Amino acid sequence: MQAVILVGGEGTRLRPLTSRHPKPVITLVDRPFMTYMLEWLRGHGVDDVIFSCGFEPAKIEDALGDGAALDMRLRYVREPTPRGTAGALKYVEEQIPLDGRFLMLNGDVLTDADVSGQIAQHERDGATATLGLVGVEDPSAYGLVLCHGDHAVDRFLEKPAPNQLEGVDHYLISAGIYVLERAVLDLVPAGQNVSIEREVWPRLVGQGLFGYVADGAYWMDIGTPERYLQGTFDILEGNVRTGVLEALGDDFLAVADDVQAQGRIVPPAHVGPGCTIAAGAHVGSLVVLGAGVTVGAGARVERAVVLDGATIGAGCEVTDCIVGPRARIEKGAVVRGGAVIGEDVLVGEGNVLAAGIKVFPGTELPPGAIKF
């Protein structure tokens, strides 16, 4: 089975994590984010993937390769200009078999949805397109998809007001997972910027557009630092089925063999190779330390991601935050409250960074420069 994955965006909401790297290849626990999607798809019989790229395609290809390690074929196509979700699909039309049924996916989703079940329902319904749907509690920030009892899509409600929700029992949104017949491409003009959500799906209502409700599935759009952290925690706790669970084992703790740990590590946690945790330091719970991270004496790291080569100084408090590769948090500094520290940042002694502050790559904060 073939899949087309859209990875054209710049990931601006995830900056500074994406200031130097495209979102599909930023590290999530112990592997590039996109690897989770590829492993999940491979488990549902997908063996041929086309990436529709825009931002930094060479870095995506360098990180993911040709797919041989996953027993898949990976190909990369760069849009000459941004063409929208349907326009990007149209641009790769020649690489989709003439008689092909295929998947189309947004490239920023962490999920364990049953795609095999979605494909099976698509076949039973004789659908032209089947939208994967997930439930939400608060529909105000999303576009809702309303379906008949036979799964056929009835209409769409874009960020509905309360008075538009009367009689709506289930708040279903698109999960960005689509099973498509090749005939969908006939509805998309070539060489134009076309949205599949706003311009194609409405035309298919009553003409073969169905919805598949992914009951019980985990689903999250990893598009903001808050969701990146929550996705990390959900992986560590096993709330989403991923390959990381095998490494964590029954005690939800993965510590590389060469880690030098004199301090305490509290599960769930994932500690990469070459890490050093000094005496009196406390790491966990819900912590990822990338390769070569140093945690100084008496430091406390909780509910946080500290990426490759970063240094946490003695006595630091690092909680509910993200620390980028090779960043240095010097003695006694505090990073908390959703702060995101970019790669190669220096945070001097006495700084207190909180309230979701973002510090961009290469910045140097002198001692005591910022105190929230």
Two structure tokens written together for 237: 């706790």
CATH of 2-217, one of 3.30.300.130, 1.20.1250.20, 3.40.50.2000, 3.90.550.10: 3.90.550.10
Asked whether 107 and 5 are in contact (CB, 8 A), the reply is yes
Please name the amino acid found at residue 62.
D
Task: Please give the pLDDT value at position 163.
Answer: 65
pLDDT at 137: 80
pLDDT-derived band of residue 372, with 50, 70 and 90 as boundaries?
confident
> 125-139 pLDDT, tens per residue?
999 999 999 988 877
Q: Break the chain into its structural domains and give their ranges.
A: 2-217, 248-365
C-alpha–C-alpha distance, residues 360 and 15, integer Å? 8
Query: Is residue 218 over pLDDT 90?
Result: yes
Distance CA 110, CA 9 (A): 16
Q: CA 16 → CA 20, 61, 291, 363, distances in Å? A: 8, 21, 20, 11
How much of the chain exceeds pLDDT 90, in percent?
72
For the entire predicted model, the pTM comes to 0.92
242 — pLDDT class (breaks 50, 70, 90): very high
Looking at domain 248-365, its CATH superfamily turns out to be: Hexapeptide repeat proteins (2.160.10.10)
- Of 98-107, 230-239, 329-338, give the lowest mean pLDDT range: 98-107
Own/partner pairs for 62-68, CB < 8 Å, 24+ apart? 63/24, 63/25, 63/32, 63/34, 64/24, 64/25, 64/32, 64/34, 64/35, 64/38, 67/38
- Helical (H) or strand (E) element with 122: helix 115-125
Q: What is the pLDDT of residue 273?
A: 97
Q: How many CA atoms lie within 13 A of 313 on its CB side?
A: 15
Q: What is the pLDDT of residues 265-303, one digit of tens each?
A: 999 999 999 999 999 999 989 999 999 999 999 999 999
Q: Is the pLDDT of residue 167 over 70?
A: no
Q: Which residue has the higher pLDDT, 97 or 65?
A: 65
